[in-house]
Amino acid sequence: MKWINHEVVTGVIVYAATDDLLLTIYSMAGAIVPDKLEGMPGNADYWSWRSRHRGWSHWPVLYALLYGLIAWNEGNPDAAFRFGELAQIGQYFCIGALLHIAEDALCGKVPFLLPSRKIGVKLFKVGSFTEYFVCIAIVAVCYGLKVNGWIF
Ligand SMILES: [Zn+2]
């Protein structure tokens, strides 16, 4: 999925769920983390990049563990240090990264429980009209659910 669509879909889902613009911004920042960690394909080393594409940087267990570690620390009365607002930023970064991975799983395979075992479906090709259509559909569903108060 293209970055603009990751940003839009993640932002809409988190805003629909939280009604909080700051949390939305934190998650949108996290929504580009997996691809940023992976790096950009260069002309000279395209096949090297391709072999690492959607590898450990797209492993959801990393972000889930980080989310859980932050939650555990913030909820632990014996914690030596609490991060306060930074903890919330970190958690929503992780949520954004997890949504990025879920969104990538709609257009190819991503790691799941093990970094080497990938799952996903190929509903569309990245950058295709269908990708934009699917993103608009997700936004419309979130809007419909929010407006009708059915969920969130
Ligand atoms: Zn990605």
* pLDDT tens string 120-148: 999 999 999 999 999 999 999 999 998 88
- Indicate if the pLDDT at residue 44 is higher than 90: no
Least confident of 33-47, 60-74, 98-112: 33-47
The model's pTM is 0.90
* pLDDT tens string 113-125: 999 899 999 999 9
Least confident of 51-55, 69-73, 93-97, 133-137: 51-55
User: Which amino acid makes up residue 5?
Assistant: N
pLDDT at res. 40: 77
Beta carbons of 31 and 10 less than 8 angstroms apart: yes
CA 90 to ligand 1 centroid distance, Å: 19
CA 131 to ligand 1 centroid distance, Å: 14
Q: Which residue has the tokens 């295709």?
A: 128
CA 34 to ligand 1 centroid distance, Å: 6
Taking the C-alpha atoms of residue 127 and residue 6, their distance in angstroms, rounded to an integer, is: 12
Burial of residue 43, with CB atoms counted within 10 A of its CB: 0-12 exposed, 13-18 middle, 19 or more buried: exposed
CA 101 to ligand 1 centroid distance, Å: 6
CA 100 to ligand 1 centroid distance, Å: 6
CA 69 to ligand 1 centroid distance, Å: 23
Name beta bridge partners: 53: none
pLDDT at res. 31: 97
- The mean of the pLDDT values for the chain is 92
- Indicate if the pLDDT at residue 86 is higher than 80: yes
Confidence of residue 88 (pLDDT cuts 50, 70, 90): very high
CA 52 to ligand 1 centroid distance, Å: 11
Nearest to 16 by CA among 128, 143, 148: 143
CA 70 to ligand 1 centroid distance, Å: 23
Nearest to 59 by CA among 18, 115, 17: 115
List % helix, strand, coil for the chain (3-state, nearest 5). 65, 5, 30
pLDDT at res. 123: 94
Name beta bridge partners: 111: 118
Report DSSP letters for 97-145, one per residue: HHHHHHHHTTBS-EE-SSTT-EE--BSS-TTSHHHHHHHHHHHHHHHHH
CA 83 to ligand 1 centroid distance, Å: 28
Least confident of 31-35, 50-54, 70-74, 93-97: 50-54
